[in-house]
Chains A and B, each alone.
Chain A
């Protein structure tokens, strides 16, 4: 009996030690610390996403499974393809301009002496910090069909007024402009952080070699910022494709559906017109394309990271 007790007593500390070792591993601690967030994402993101996929496979009355029937139906609709085209125009144009403006402004801010830089950074971030629904309402008043502040200024200058939200092309311009205004500061701050991490010695060496401004940008700045540019563009592309509030508040998709994007059209079809499965299908349409883009871009980022 005493022998048995001795044996089991010897095994227990070994198991405990093993458990302690597992718990002491950095990866285990990291996993445990992120577990609440993982659970939260599972609950608030994965479950609704899975439910949306389920809804997209049902008929209008949500009584039977139709597989890809909703997508087949959408592919035959003229309005759907118009929404696809507009969403691409909206997202791609907005992301290009946000990146361009963010890049230029980040350089300006980077060159401001450190003492005054914080003030500028704070001010330039304001459009991104204000809740979009609120700032878009302010833009709505500026673009108001009858009482636009911009038109008031134009009229005062003797110029023709512009139907900002009444003409399809001006309406597209307006929604893209507001998206750029809200999103450019995000690019600016990300690029600024990237710029600050580029070693000054590289520029000094390039100057000694006689490189001009453009060559320094092309051969030093851009390659050093490549990863951050790729990740920022990908993130912004996904968010811009999913945009709802700006279009909904400014134009509600009009005139003649010419400013609808996936989310706003999905809302009209799903909630207002009572076809929730079709609305879910519209909102899920871009998911595979964006997922493929994300995999390609992130794979390149990882590869470059490994090379470095």
Chain B
């Protein structure tokens, strides 16, 4: 057996230096994923096939930029997405990019990377965003996320053409003609009430939820906006006891008994079931209900027409629920994350997402709301033409605005407005209901 050769200290140092020099001097070899990796958490879409379109767009970017992407689709069922946000914010660790609905960019404002360098050029390229997107996504001049196409939706009325004609004598297709501007001057809250009464009497009540989940809160919030009713104003002052709030409540107290009898117990699935079962003449929902009807009850889908909200004394307000893509400030590869979000916000990417979602998703940028998807989907042809409000005849709004975010999110999440309506419907006096709401809102002021 050969005796191992002993190496002197001098020889060891020399050989180590040589290896180090060779390592630094070696040419940079481009490998797959040379630009690193990012982790992404997107909202898990309701519409079958919509996730695949996003996945394809991400894969194309990943291949082009040599960045490895770990993509998770996180459901909002059971508030899984909110729990993920809360956990990652606490742990200061998790995805680089995460989807944030409505109030949650503002909730985590301190932990989100400023996105002005991404959003401002996108606005210049794709057109302005609506006021609700700016209210929710931009705090103190800082964009907290990129307005996302996926998940952003309108919750305006979806009516049964035949039942509105039969019970209320309203030709909703004439008011909202396919491919043309709305003729909606007479589509106001009075007309809406008359139609609700007629449809209720005819055995097909309107399906507006009075529960505390998002669909109910968004719909009731739009009625409040139509009257100019706010529980808290933009300065954070409580404005519960105002003529506008009382007027909105009086209207909804009259409307409540004309709705589906179990509306106070509705969740976000109830309005879909109400439409698909054929029992209701109208619901307030994105076109997912129509898409389910198309699959399960085509004869009902053929009679559905999405359109704008009725106008009130303060104007016409469409309930809009935007999503954002945010980058955590503790994210590891922010530059790559920004590059991916720019790619997903291009016109072609948005078009692919809208197409894959069957028109459910609405890009926030003005120039991207006129894709032909909404005009061509059927049955009936043109059913979704007015869904993204292509003629801008509504103010896109969110319930509880314009209150400061940290107050508004509590008004929204705890369904204070629908609860006020239900209290009145159960016989509570207006005074007691207003006192209760004022007390609740006072509790939301703590810092």
Binding site for B on A (CB under 8 A): 59-61, 73, 77-79, 145-147, 163, 165-166, 171, 251-257, 267-268, 271-276, 278
Q: Min CB distance, A49 to chain B, in Å?
A: 15
B267 within 8 A of A: yes
- B262 with A166: CB separation less than 8 A: yes
In the A-B complex, the 9 residue pairs with the smallest Cβ-Cβ separation, listed nearest first, are A145-B262, A166-B265, A272-B413, A145-B265, A273-B410, A273-B413, A165-B265, A166-B262, A274-B107
A-B CB contacts (within 8 Å), total count = 82
Give the complex CA separation of A59 and B265 in angstroms: 33
In the complex, whether B79 has a CB less than 8 A from a CB of chain A is: yes
The distance in angstroms between the C-alpha atoms of A191 and B230, with both chains bound, is 57
- Beyond A146-B270, A147-B273, A163-B261, 13 extra complex contacts between A and B, CB < 8 Å: A60-B446, A146-B262, A146-B277, A147-B277, A166-B261, A171-B265, A254-B211, A254-B265, A254-B415, A255-B211, A273-B409, A273-B413, A274-B107
Name A78's closest neighbour in chain B (CB-CB). B439
| A-B residue pairs in contact (CB < 8 Å), sample of 20 | A59-B447, A60-B406, A79-B440, A145-B266, A145-B270, A146-B262, A163-B261, A251-B265, A252-B213, A254-B212, A254-B264, A255-B422, A256-B423, A268-B413, A271-B82, A271-B83, A271-B86, A272-B414, A274-B410, A275-B410
Within 8 A of A (CB), among B381-436: 406, 409-410, 413-415, 419, 422-423, 426, 436
Chain A residue nearest to B415 in the complex (CB): A254
Contacts of B410 in A (CB 8 A): 273-275
Question: Which chain A residues lie closer than 8 Å to B317 at the CB level?
Answer: none
Q: Which of B115-173 contact A (CB under 8 A)?
A: none
> Does B279 sit at the interface, judged by CB under 8 A?
yes
Q: How far is the CB of A261 from chain B (nearest CB, A)?
A: 16
Interface residue? B341 (CB, 8 A): no
* Interchain nearest-CB distance for A271 vs B (Å): 5
Residues of A within 8 A of B413 (CB): 268, 272-274
B274 at the interface (CB under 8 A from A): yes
Nearest A residue to B280 via CB reads: A146
Partner among A60, A254, A255 whose Cβ is within 8 Å of the Cβ of B447: A60
Chain B: residues with Cβ within 8 Å of the partner, total of 38
CB distance from A180 to the nearest CB of B (A): 21
Q: Are A146 and B212 in contact (CB under 8 A)?
A: no
Bound: A73/B446 CA distance, A: 9
Q: A146-B260, A146-B273, A166-B264 are in contact. Are A61 and B447 (CB under 8 A)?
A: yes
Question: B48 at the A/B interface (Cβ < 8 Å)?
Answer: no
- In the complex, which of the residues A145, A146, A274 contacts B409, with contact meaning CB atoms closer than 8 Å? A274
- Hey, which chain B residues are within 8 Å of A278, CB to CB? 446
Smallest distance from the beta carbon of A279 to chain B beta carbons, Å?
A: 10
Do residues B267 and A252 form an inter-chain contact, with CB atoms below 8 A?
A: yes
Question: In whole angstroms, how far apart are the Cα atoms of A115 and B436 in the complex?
Answer: 61
Instruction: List which B196-220 residues lie within 8 A (CB) of chain A.
Output: 211-213
Which residues of the partner chain B approach A273 to less than 8 Å between Cβ atoms?
409-410, 413-414, 444
Complex Cα distance A254/B266, Å?
10
B27 at the interface (CB under 8 A from A): no
Contacts of A78 in B (CB 8 A): 436, 439
- In the complex, per-residue mask of B12-28: 1 if CB is within 8 Å of any chain A CB, else 0: 00000000000000000
The CB with the most chain B CB atoms within 10 A, among A145, A165, A171, is that of A145
Q: Is B4 in the interface zone, CB < 8 Å from A?
A: no
Contact status A274-B406, CB under 8 Å = yes
Please report the C-alpha to C-alpha distance between residue A171 and residue B414 in the assembled complex, in whole angstroms. Answer: 18
With A145-B266, A146-B262 already in contact, the answer to whether A77 and B443 are too (CB < 8 A) is yes
Task: Give every chain B residue within 8 A of A60 (Cβ-Cβ).
Answer: 406, 446-447
Question: CB-CB < 8 A to A268: which residues of B?
Answer: 413-414
B64 to chain A, nearest CB (A): 38
Complex interface residues of chain B between 177 and 211 (CB less than 8 A to chain A)? 211
Complex Cα spacing A145 to B274, Å: 10
CA distance A171 to B267 in the complex (A): 14
Cβ 8 A contact of B422, one of A145, A163, A165, A256: A256
Chain A hits for B444, CB < 8 A: 273
A272 CA to B103 CA, complexed, in Å: 10
* B260 (CB) vs chain A CBs: closest residue: A146
- Shortest Cβ gap from B378 to chain A (Å): 28
A252 and B212 contact, CB distance less than 8 A? yes
Instruction: Give A126 Cβ to nearest chain B Cβ, in Å.
Output: 24
Cα separation A145 to B266 with both chains bound (whole Å): 7
Residues of A within 8 A of B264 (CB): 166, 254-256
Interface core residue of B83, B267, B279 (most chain A CB under 10 Å): B267
Contact of B265 among A147, A255, A257 (CB under 8 A): A255
B270 and A256 contacting across the interface, CB-CB below 8 Å: no
**Smallest CB separation, A247 vs chain B (Å):** 13
Chain A residues with CB below 8 A from B422, complex form: 255-256
Determine how close the nearest CB of chain A comes to the CB of B421; give it in whole angstroms.
11
A residues near B279, Cβ cutoff 8 Å: 146
B266: chain A residues within 8 A (beta carbon): 145
Q: How far is the CB of B311 from chain A (nearest CB, A)?
A: 30
- Compute how far the CA of A254 lies from the CA of B436 in the bound complex, rounded to whole angstroms: 16
Taking a contact as CB atoms under 8 Å apart, the answer to whether A271 and B265 are in contact is no
Please, what's the 1-or-0 string for B336-372, where 1 marks a CB less than 8 Å from any CB in chain A?
0000000000000000000000000000000000000
CB of B444 to closest CB in A, whole Å: 8
